[in-house]
Structure 1
Amino acid sequence: MERPESRCPPPGFLRLFVLTCLLILTAVLMFPMLRTFSLWLHSSFTGRYVSGSYSIVFVNCPNEQIARDIARYFWKGEIEEGTEVSLLIKTKTSKVSRLFAYMRLAHPFEIPEVFSIPMDQGDARYLKWLEEGMKEN
C-alpha cells in the first residue's frame, strides 16, 4: 500500500514552481524592453542598422499651425522651421534599394530622409491593382 506522503510533491517543489512561473512572467512582460535594448547593443557594437531599431510616428494635428509648432527642432545649433512635403511612393519591396539609390542622386539634401515600411495588410482589390501597375520588367 502506498503511503499518503508519497503522492505529495517533494519539499521545495512548490517554491521552485512559483519561482519558475515568476521568471517566465517577468521575461514575457519585459520582452519589448529587452528586445529594444538588444537591438541597440547590436547596432552600437557592429555599427550596422538592425531592422526594428527605429519607429515611425504619425501624428494628426487639428491644424497646420499646431503641426508647425510641434515640428520645430534644433539643427546645427538653431531652431529649424522648414517646410517639408511628404512624398508617399508605393513600390515592390524588391525595388526599394534601387529607389533609395535614385533618391540619393535626385534629392537635394545631403542625407535625404528616405526609408521604407513593408505593407502588412491592405484591401485585396487595391493590392491587386497595385500589382497590375507594377509588373516586373
Structure 2
Amino acid sequence: MKRRLVLAFYGTIATTMMIGFIDPKPSAPPTHHTRPAYAPSVMPTAPWVANSAAGFTQWVERHGTEEQRAAVLGHITRLLQSVPQEGHFNTYVATDHLTAEDARTRAIVDAYLAWAGRYDPTRMLVLYDIRGKVMGAVNVPDQR
C-alpha cells in the first residue's frame, strides 16, 4: 500500500513536470517588426563608414526580384554602416515607407543580403520607416 502511494506521488510529480514543459500553443516566430534590445530605436546620426544607398539601389534595379524592386527603388534614403567593431559592423537603412509590412521588410532584407554577399561583415541590419522608427531588424549571420 505504501509503495503504491509513493509511486502515485512520483507519477503525479513527473506528469505535472512534463505538462509544465509542454507549450500547448507553439509561440510564433518574431516578426521582422520586432526590434532586438540592442537595435537603436531611431535612425542613428553618429559618424559612419559609408553611404552606399546608390550602389544598393542600382544593384536591386539590375538584379532584384519584382518584390525587391518595389520595396527598394525610390524608397531607400540612406544606408549607413557603423564604424567597425571587432571586425564587424551594423548597417542601418532609412526608407520613406510609412508603415512596416512583413513582405516589404523581408524583400529589403533579402535584397540587402544578396547585394552585400556572403562575406559581408554586417552583424545587424536595421530598417527604419520615414519617421525614423524601426520597421524591422535582423541578425545577419542568422539569415545566411
Same fold, TM exceeding 0.5? no
- Return the index of the structure with the highest Cα Rg: 1
More strand by share: 2
TM-score (norm 1): 0.30
Give TM-score, length-normalised by structure 2: 0.29
Higher relative helix content: 1
